[in-house]
Amino acid sequence: MKRISALAFSAALLALAACSDSDDAKSEAEDPAAAPAQQAPAQQAPAQQTPAPQSAAPAGQPLSLAQQQALAEAAKMPRQGTVLELMHASGYTYMKVDVGSDKPLWVAVTMMRAQPNDKVQWGEAAVMHNYDSKSLHRTFDMILFASSASVIN
């Protein structure tokens, strides 16, 4: 139940981030070069149920302290790097990315084409700690679930 709640919370954070009215977000959406890479079908493990996105707080209600902290943490994370390793499972691409720090960062996005040594960038993301992926049979200490990603030159 905790995992479902954590995943629902992450989806809500992504939904909040996608609702931004900033001019930067509008200009990126209008720029075809900023569009995510074409998604490719790949062999998938048995589907892992992902809850539908829900809003983090009812309309007109302020965000909780935990929600505010999660948004602040995600805002500090890098948004591009070089792919070191990747795996496809349950409609997602999980990428271990070198972001120029001591420790690589794991990023999960909807299924996309990428290869090791590709430089990738991603959009708004939700941070999850101790995420247990049943389809990959592993737990990630920390992983970003990004709204979109693309390979860049």
Model pLDDT for residues 123-135, shown as the tens digit of each residue: 988 889 999 999 9
Which is more confident, 27 or 140?
140
The C-alpha atoms of residue 140 and residue 147 are separated, in whole angstroms, by 18
User: pLDDT digit string (tens) for 55-83?
Assistant: 345 566 787 887 777 777 777 788 899 99
pLDDT tops 90 at residue 121: yes
CATH number of the domain encompassing residue 112: 2.40.50.140
Query: Six-digit token pair at 45?
Result: 């493990």
> Residue 149: pLDDT band by 50, 70, 90 thresholds?
very high
The pLDDT assigned to 59 comes to 61
Name the average pLDDT for the chain: 72
Q: Give the range of the structural domain holding residue 6, as residue numbers without chain letter.
A: 2-35+65-152
Q: Look at strands 80-89 and 119-122 and give their pairing.
A: antiparallel
Residue scoring higher pLDDT (105 or 44): 105
pLDDT at 107 over 80: yes
Burial of 150 (0-12, 13-18, 19+ CB in 10 A): buried
Is 41 contained in some domain?
no
Residue 90, sorted as left (phi over 0), alpha (psi -120 to 50) or beta, turns out to be left
Alpha carbon distance 130, 143 (integer Å): 8
Give domain status of residue 58, yes or no.
Answer: no
Question: How many angstroms separate the CA atoms of 102 and 24, rounded?
Answer: 30
Instruction: Identify the band that residue 27 occupies on the pLDDT scale cut at 50, 70 and 90.
Output: very low
60 within a domain of the structure (yes/no): no
Q: How many domains does the chain have?
A: 1
In a domain, residue 24? The reply is yes
Q: What is the pLDDT of residue 87?
A: 95
pTM of the predicted model, to two decimals?
0.57
